[in-house]
C-alpha cells in the first residue's frame, strides 16, 4: 500500500478553546443547570456557571471547538420546561 488513507481530524476539531454563553428565555434555573451540566459532561467539556436566574444564564465552557459547537446546539434545545429565546456567544482567543 502506498500511504495512509485514513482521514485526519481537522485543526478545528482538535483545537481547544473556551467560550462564554448567555442563554436567555424562560428558564427554570435548576432544571436548565442540570441539563447544561449533563451535556457538558457527555461532551467532556469543562463548565463554569456564572449568574443564572429564570431569565438568563451565563455559562463558560472549554474544550475542543467542535464539541463547544455541539454543546451550544444541545443546550439551545433546553430541557422540556425551559424555552431558549436567544443565545449570546463570545469566543475566547486561541492560545
Tens-place pLDDT, residues 1-41? 455 554 455 544 567 899 999 999 999 989 999 999 999 99
What gap in Å lies between CA 22 and CA 10, rounded to an integer?
Answer: 28
Cβ neighbors of 73 (< 8 A, separation 6 or more) are: none
Q: What is the pTM of this model?
A: 0.81
- Residue-by-residue DSSP string for 50-95: EEE-SSEEEEEEEEEHHHHHHHHHHHHH--TT-EEEEEEEEEPPP-
CA atoms within 13 A on the CB side of 57: 31
Q: In the chain, what are the domain boundaries?
A: 27-91
Amino acid at each position: 500500500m502506498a500511504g495512509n488513507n485514513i482521514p485526519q481530524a481537522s485543526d478545528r476539531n482538535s483545537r481547544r478553546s473556551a467560550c462564554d454563553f448567555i442563554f436567555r428565555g424562560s428558564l427554570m434555573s435548576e432544571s436548565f443547570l442540570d441539563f447544561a451540566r449533563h451535556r457538558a459532561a457527555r461532551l467532556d467539556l469543562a463548565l463554569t456557571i456564572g449568574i443564572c436566574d429564570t431569565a438568563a444564564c451565563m455559562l463558560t465552557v472549554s474544550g475542543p471547538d467542535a464539541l463547544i459547537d455541539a454543546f451550544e446546539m444541545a443546550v439551545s434545545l433546553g430541557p422540556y420546561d425551559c424555552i431558549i429565546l436567544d443565545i449570546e456567544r463570545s469566543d475566547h482567543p486561541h492560545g
